[in-house]
Structure 1
Amino acid sequence: MTKQIQVGKLNRLRIERESDHGLFLCDESGESVLLPNRYVTEQMQIGEETDVFVYNDSEDRLVATTEHPLAKRGEFALMKVTDIVSFGAFVDWGLPKELLVPKKMQKHPLEKGKSYIIHVAYDARTDRLVGDTHIGHYLRNNPKEMQSLREVDLLIVARTPMGYKVIADNRYEGMLFHNEIYEKISIGDRKEGYVKKIRDDGKLDLTLQPPGKAKEEIAVRKVCDALKEAETNTLPFTYKSDAEAIQQRFGISKKAWKKALTKLLDAEEITLHEEHISLKKRS
C-alpha cells in the first residue's frame, strides 16, 4: 500500500528537491510538501528521508515542520486560548499557526487567556485540522480491548472530589483517586500510570505507583537521590516522620517510605539517627 502524506501526523518523507523557499519533500505517490528554510539543516540531503509534522499554514497550504505540536491528530493536550473571533477561538498548540476551535466544536464558550483540554481532530470536508473540546466523543471504553493494558500514558484533565479524571493512551477514560497520589499534579500534566482495575463500565482505575518490586525500587532510588543531593548527605526524616511531609518531599506513601528505609538500612547504605538519616560514607 502506497504511503501518502497524512495531515496532522508525523510523516517520513523523501527529500526531493531544493527551492528558494526550502526543501520539497514527497511521499511514495509523488505528492510533495514544502519544508521551509527555517527548518532545513545541513544534515538534510537530496534523496534521504526525514521525519516531519504536516499541517495547514496561514494560507491553508500544506506545510511541513520539524517542530512538534502539543498534540497531534487524534491526541489531547492542554492549550491556551489566544484569541476569540466570530466563528470560534484560536489556541496555542505549539506551532506558528494557531489551531482553530470552531464554535460548533466548543462544549462551552471558550474564554481568552484560559486553558482547556483540546482534542486535535481532522475535518475531512475542509482537509484541515481543528480543535474540539467535546473530549468524551473521542474516548472509548472497551473492557475486552483493554485487558492487556498495564502501563499507560496519562493526561490529567479534571479535578473532582474523588480525585482526577484522566485520559489514558489518548483513548480511554480513567480516574486517579486522591489516596493514590503522592506528588503534586495539575490539569494538563502528563504522567506514566498503571492500571489497577478495569471497571464494569469500561473506565479505568489508575495509579501513579508501579506494582510490586518496581514500586519499592523507585522509592529506594528517590530516597538515595535525595540524600546524595542534600547538604552533608543528611535529611531530617526517620520512621516516625509525618506522612504528609514524606509525600511532599519524596512523592511516596509512608508505607513505601518505611520499606525503602528498611531496605537501605539492611544494605548498609544509610545510618539512622534519632532525628535524621544520613548516607554512609564509603572508604
Structure 2
Amino acid sequence: MNKSLGNVITGLVTDINEKAYFIQKDGVTYKLPKTETMDYQLGDTVEGFAYVAMNKDTMLTQEIPAVRVGEFGWATVSETRKDLGVFMDIGLPDKEVVVSLDELPTLKHLWPKKGDRLLITIQVDEKDRMWGKQAPESVFESLSQKGDEGLNNKNITGTAYRLKLVGTYILTSDNYLGFVHPSERKDEPRLGEVVSGRVIGVRSDGILNVSLMPRAHEAISDDAGMLLAILERTPTGSFPYTDKSDANEIRERFGISKAQFKRALGNLMKQRKIVQQDGETRLVEATNEDQK
C-alpha cells in the first residue's frame, strides 16, 4: 500500500523529459507535468499532491486539492453510477474519487445528482484505490456556529448532509446547522442537494428549524399558475377578464369558479405580477413596456 497517495508529499527530481519531471519518494516515482509548474533541475525537492490518474500513471500535482487524506473539503458530483456510487470532482485534472454506494441512501432517488456537493475526505485501500468518505456528524458540528433568535424568518441556503426518517439536516452557507421536518418540505431533498428556505425557529442547542415551504404570500396556487401561464402566452400579456367579470364567462374560459378566479388574481396582485386596468388583467411586465 502506497501511504503517500492522497497526501501532500515532498520528493526529489530524479529525471526530466520534454513533458514532465519525475519525482521520487520512498522508492515510488511520480510524474509531474511541465504544463503546470515552474522549472526544476535534477536533485531539486518538489512538493505536491500524490495520486494515481485514470490511466494508472502515478502522478504529482502542485494544484493541491482541499480534499486529502485526513482533510475534509467540498467536492462536486460529476457522475452517478447505480452499480458503484457517485463520482466526485475534487479538482484533479485526470482523476475523480468515488463515494461508494454503501455510503449513500438506500433509496436511489435520494442519491446526489450531477452538480450536488458532498463534504468528503480521501481514504486509500490496500489496492491503492482512492475513495471518497463522507464527513461524520462531528465534522459538521465543528464547522458550525450556534444560531440565535435574531435569525428567525431569515432566508437561508444550505446543503443537505444527513437524511433521516425524522427529517433532513443541512449546513447553511453561513455555517449554521439546520433541521427540516418532513412537514416543512414538499419533497425530501437529495443528499448533497443545495436547498433554499427560511428559519422558523431556533432550538436550544443552536440548530435552526428550517422550512422549505414558501411563505403564504409567496405561494402561487395551481389556479394562479394557470392564469399566469395563459397571460404569458398571449401576444399582449393580457386578457379581457377581471374580478368584475361574469361568473359564467370565467367558468367557460378558465374552467374555474369566480371565487377561485378572484383568489388567484388576488394572489398574483399581491406578488405584483399582474394589474387590473381598463377592464383587463395584464402582466406587470407588459404594462411597463406599454409605458415606455
* TM-score, normalised by the number of residues in structure 1: 0.45
* TM-score, normalised by the number of residues in structure 2: 0.44
User: Rg bigger for which structure?
Assistant: 2
